[in-house]
């Protein structure tokens, strides 16, 4: 092909047809430019196909991660509901005579918990270098909202809850002077069980321990609402991703 074009150029120059030669040269340049543009377009198309294939795999991994997140939220939701049932029952109890030392102590204590979030799929998305999402543009935006906004908000709420529990723990460890708290089994207590039950019963009816339980109850209620909302949000996001995957593929 190159020899063919060279022969044409040679013939035109030999016959001193300058005008035709210039037109031919321009045409040859145009053909070269068109060839380069076509090659670039094919290369871009191939790169886009590779990106879309990689993005499809990443989105499938994100769906798996979100389903695991939903299970973690479900566990915490069940735990928070159980805790509030326990707290409500204890606070509404007017007779603590049936409680042992251990059951009274556990009933007066509060606990915090954190959700477990899987981010490996989203990390792969961020590190992929893909900037054009094509048909997945809408779902990628929703995914980014989930990891960049939703998760930090609920983490903040859980952190506030944990700080409240730490304060209540400090109360039992250091501020409450009348009761000898037992954290580890097998440790001797100078306070008899009978004396401890009397003190714990009085504490169960006193303002500070009850305020601690009420505060814990309120935090649980807030988390219960957040967990329920997030679980619905995850279901909607997963469905949107799966619908996009079906439509594209």
Contacts of 150 (CB under 8 A, 6+ apart): 230, 233
Residue 33 pLDDT more than 80? no
Do residues 51 and 130 lie in contact, with contact meaning Cβ atoms separated by under 8 Å?
yes
Name the residue range of residue 230's domain.
Answer: 2-248
Q: How many CB atoms lie within 10 A of CB 17?
A: 13
- As a whole number of angstroms, the distance between CA 153 and CA 159 comes to 10
Q: How confident is the model over 143-156, as a mean pLDDT?
A: 96
Position 194 pLDDT exceeds 70: yes
CA–CA distance, 220 with 158 (Å, rounded to integer) = 10
Give the C-alpha separation, 19 to 27, whole Å. Answer: 12
How many C-beta neighbours within 10 Å does residue 153 have?
11
The secondary structure of 52-84, three-state, reads HHHHHHHHHHHHHHHHHHHHHHHHHHHHHHHHH
Between CA 17 and CA 195 the distance in angstroms is: 120
Distance of CA 69 to the CA centre of its chain: 7
Contact 141, 59 (CB under 8 A): no
Q: What's the pLDDT at 218?
A: 97
Indicate the SS3 state at residue 129: coil
* Section 67-86 average pLDDT: 97
Least confident of 47-56, 126-135, 223-232: 47-56
pLDDT the model gives residue 5: 46
Report the alpha-carbon distance of residue 63 to residue 143 in Å, rounded.
10
Whether the pLDDT of residue 3 is over 60: the answer is: no
What's the whole-number average pLDDT of the chain? 86
Dist. CA 216–CA 164, nearest whole Å? 8
> What is residue 23's predicted lDDT score, i.e. its pLDDT?
58
pTM score:
0.78
Distance in angstroms (rounded) separating the CA atoms of residues 69 and 143:
13
Q: Which of 18-22, 36-40, 79-83, 93-97 has the lowest mean pLDDT?
A: 18-22
Q: What is the mean pLDDT of residues 190-204?
A: 95
- Does 143 score more than 80 pLDDT? yes
d(CA 142, CA 205): 49
What's the total number of domains in the chain? Answer: 1
**pLDDT value of residue 4:** 47
When mean pLDDT is compared across 108-117, 175-184, 200-209, 210-219, the lowest value belongs to: 175-184
């Amino acid at each position: 092909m190159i020899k063919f074009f060279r022969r044409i150029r040679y013939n035109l120059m030999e016959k001193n047809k300058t005008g035709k030669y210039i037109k031919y040269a321009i045409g040859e340049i145009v053909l070269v430019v068109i060839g380069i543009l076509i090659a670039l377009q094919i290369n871009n198309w191939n790169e886009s196909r590779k990106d879309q294939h990689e993005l499809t795999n990443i989105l499938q991994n994100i769906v798996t991660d979100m389903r695991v997140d939903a299970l973690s939220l479900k566990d915490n939701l069940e735990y928070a509901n159980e805790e509030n049932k326990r707290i409500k029952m204890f606070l509404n109890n007017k007779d603590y005579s049936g409680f042992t030392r251990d059951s009274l102590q556990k009933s007066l204590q509060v606990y915090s918990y954190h959700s477990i979030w899987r981010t490996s799929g989203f990390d792969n998305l961020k590190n992929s270098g893909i900037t054009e999402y094509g048909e997945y543009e809408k779902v990628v935006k929703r995914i980014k909202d989930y990891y960049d906004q939703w998760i930090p908000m609920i983490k903040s709420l859980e952190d506030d809850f944990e700080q409240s529990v730490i304060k209540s723990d400090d109360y039992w460890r250091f501020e409450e002077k009348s009761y000898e708290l037992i954290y580890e089994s097998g440790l001797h207590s100078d306070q008899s069980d009978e004396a401890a039950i009397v003190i714990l019963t009085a504490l169960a009816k006193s303002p500070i321990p009850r305020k601690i339980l009420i505060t814990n109850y309120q935090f649980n209620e807030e988390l219960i609402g957040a967990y329920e909302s997030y679980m619905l949000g995850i279901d909607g996001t997963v469905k949107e991703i799966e619908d996009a995957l079906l439509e594209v593929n």
